[in-house]
Structure 1
Amino acid sequence: MLTVFFAPLIIINSGIVLSPLMLFILYIISAFGMAGIGMGIMHDAIHGSYSSSKRINKYMGYTLNLIGANAIVWKIQHNVLHHTYTNIDEADDDINAPFFLRFSPHAKKYWLHQFQHLYVWLFYGLSTISWVTAKDFVRIVRYKKMGFFNEKNELGKVILKVVGWKLVYFSYTLILPLLVVPLAPWIIILAFISMHFVTGLLISTIFQTAHVVPSTEFPLPDENGLIANDWSIHQLATTSNFSPRSRFFSWLIGGLNYQIEHHLLPNICHVHYRKLSRIVAETAKEYGIPYLTKKTFVAAVWDHVKMLRQLGNMELEPTRQGIK
């Protein structure tokens, strides 16, 4: 995946690309490598499951920085908020969306949400370009207010690190191509955006189809801020697998088709999820706990579309307001 990401960029930065078509092809190939790094390498590494060595996990986690985002910010957003508070409105940062998207039945509904199943794909495509430019800084400010980055001078150090890594990223993905590729700047910028559009569409679709579907729950805490069931049952109720039989697809997306196993055992490398899934499914059946899965990725995406449409047009039934 690192090769798929960097090799096209090396060719672009060699200055030998003269065709706009070839430029777009190389950037889009790089997009698949970027998505692979995001879903496989850095995802395992930041969870501490890429290797038994903390040092290797730390360095492999920096691959996220190499694709324009930041490991420090991601660890809070994903490891802490998403994995702890899965599908809980205002707590899970993966379903905390801008006003024009509604990923939870408990989020405020606007009239334009009735069309979100049609236009959401545009914003999925733009998600990583937003991520590498502004979103990390917005999250840093919000996480500071939530109680993170409280050590002396920690906030300033984090901001400097984020800025530094982003300058490195933009230097070889956009600035250098603008200097060496003998094509109009607007063509190069558009090709760069196309790379991010493909990456954003891939990553967003993979992650959202695991949680924002009709079969998953969106529980609310009680007046004391507590969720009814324990954490493990909560993960099973708010997460869905898809395409469990395709080994190639599983490799391609870093095992994220086994989201249930990942949420239950995030400290275990994704290469073990397929075998673990049999044990988890049998145990869930033994105790009468739902084990949600779709046979294909297409079926999971279609379920996601139906859920987006449902969220945009009507409130969910009362029986889905919490885990029963």
Structure 2
Amino acid sequence: MPQAATLLAKPAAGSDFAPLLRQVRDQGLLGRRRGWYALSITVNLMALAATAAGIVLSGDSWWTVLLAVPAALFWARTAFVGHDSGHAQIAATRRTGRLIGLLHADLLLGMSYAWWNDKHNRHHANPNHVAKDPDVDVGALVWTQRQAAQRQGRAVRWLTRNQARLFFPMLLLEGINLKISSVRDLGRQSAGERRTEAVLLALHLAGYAALLLSSMSPGKAVVFALVHHALFGLHLGMVFAPNHKGMEMPDPGGERWGHLQRQVLTSRNVRGGAVTDWLMGGLNYQIEHHLFPNMPRPHLRLARPLVRAHCRASGLPYTETGIVDSYRQALQHMHEVGAPLRTG
């Protein structure tokens, strides 16, 4: 079970969210931080440009592959900007927010902004709900023992039995999976959305291929792309894995939870300082982010004391742990999920 920073008696009702919302608004924590985001985006774009210049200058050398490390690191920062724009944290208008998201997700990453937004918003509405949250759907991994018991096929059942130990290696494929899922989603989108995203995804692919193939041999280019996407997927997976895995999973037929209860009980914070905040894009404040998804990233740490105190007063567990322990809890949950197949 997850370790809670404060574990009190009875969970709070959904109406208990209103006083917290008033506190947060009164302190101006839902206000825009345009200057902060403008500086962050500019610095990240400069870092990406410097990495691309390094690739060109290093040329046809195996040492160039080492630049896949900063490339993956700054791609993750780019993904965080796309994430924040999808939550309306950056811009005042939906049109501007969408433009920022399209440029960062589709053009710079080759990942569909519309696909991510649709999937991620459904997750936020019902986190860890097996019937409503796409992040706990049955896929390569499963998240409940009931899902595990329904697995068919020797290879699939073997994967489920060993999913905890295979989790981090499988994250190395996530960067490529994001691109495949993005292309598949084009068929779901409206005609206008599809035209815009298809063009931007094609421009990304053309630009990425041109950068690599003009700088190194095809063989080295393929190796660079594979290492780059593997590290990018691993980084993103390590950011998102601690947030909900091993936390409460609402019973589809059980009691209906209010917003406060639904978001707090299913989320886990990760303790740390400025480095943790930077590496995780502020998503280490997962409880605050889920309660206030449109709160600008730099305000999440400021809201934390208010949320923690409110949860204590309301009788809700506020779960917070260190980064290593967060992975341990997530992996332990995945291991326990596969138990029926190990004993059957």
TM normalised by structure 1 equals 0.83
1:177 aligns with 2:223: no
Match of 2:72 in 1: 31
Which structure carries more relative contact order (alpha carbon 8 Å, separation 6+)?
2
Q: Report the CA distance between 1:97 and its aligned residue.
A: 4.3
In 1, the alpha carbon distance for the partners of 2:166 and 2:186 equals 28
- Map 1:83-232 to 2 at 5 A: 83-98=124-139, 100-109=140-149, 110=151, 111-112=157-158, 113-132=160-179, 134-141=180-187, 144=188, 149=189, 154=190, 156-178=191-213, 180-183=214-217, 185-213=218-246, 216-222=247-253, 228-232=256-260
CA contact under 8 A between 1:174 and 1:192: conserved in structure 2?
Answer: no
Q: Report the CA distance between 1:314 and its aligned residue.
A: 4.2
In 1, the alpha carbon distance for the partners of 2:138 and 2:69 equals 26
CA contact under 8 A between 2:288 and 2:300: conserved in structure 1?
Answer: yes
Match of 1:67 in 2: 109
TM normalised by structure 2 equals 0.78
Q: Report the CA distance between 1:106 and its aligned residue.
A: 4.2
In 2, the alpha carbon distance for the partners of 1:253 and 1:6 equals 22
1:235 aligns with 2:281: no
Normalized per residue, which structure has more helix? 2
Counterpart of 1:82 (choices 113, 123, 147) is 123
CA 1:286 to 1:52, structure 2 compared with 1: closer, same or farther past 3 Å? same
Counterpart of 1:274 (choices 301, 309, 317) is 301
CA 1:182 to 1:254, structure 2 compared with 1: closer, same or farther past 3 Å? closer
Q: Report the CA distance between 1:250 and its aligned residue.
A: 0.6
Q: Report the CA distance between 1:207 and its aligned residue.
A: 0.9
CA 1:106 to 1:239, structure 2 compared with 1: closer, same or farther past 3 Å? farther
CA contact under 8 A between 1:206 and 1:256: conserved in structure 2?
Answer: yes
1:285 aligns with 2:312: yes
Match of 2:330 in 1: 304
- List per-residue Cα deviations over 1:178-201 (Å, max 9, x = no partner): 2x1242x12211111111111111
CA contact under 8 A between 2:130 and 2:252: conserved in structure 1?
Answer: no
CA contact under 8 A between 1:240 and 1:259: conserved in structure 2?
Answer: yes
Indicate the RMSD between aligned Cα atoms, in angstroms: 2.1
- List per-residue Cα deviations over 1:41-65 (Å, max 9, x = no partner): 1111110012335454233212111
Match of 1:321 in 2: none
CA 1:160 to 1:54, structure 2 compared with 1: closer, same or farther past 3 Å? closer
CA 1:6 to 1:307, structure 2 compared with 1: closer, same or farther past 3 Å? farther
Match of 2:12 in 1: none
Match of 1:3 in 2: 46
1:313 aligns with 2:339: yes
In 1, the alpha carbon distance for the partners of 2:114 and 2:57 equals 34
1:248 aligns with 2:291: no
SS state at 2:136 partner? coil
Structure 2 unaligned residues grouped into runs of 5+: 1-43, 152-156
- List per-residue Cα deviations over 1:248-295 (Å, max 9, x = no partner): 21123221000000000001111111110111111101011111110x
In 1, the alpha carbon distance for the partners of 2:68 and 2:338 equals 34
CA contact under 8 A between 1:15 and 1:182: conserved in structure 2?
Answer: no
CA contact under 8 A between 1:5 and 1:31: conserved in structure 2?
Answer: no
Q: Report the CA distance between 1:108 and its aligned residue.
A: 3.8
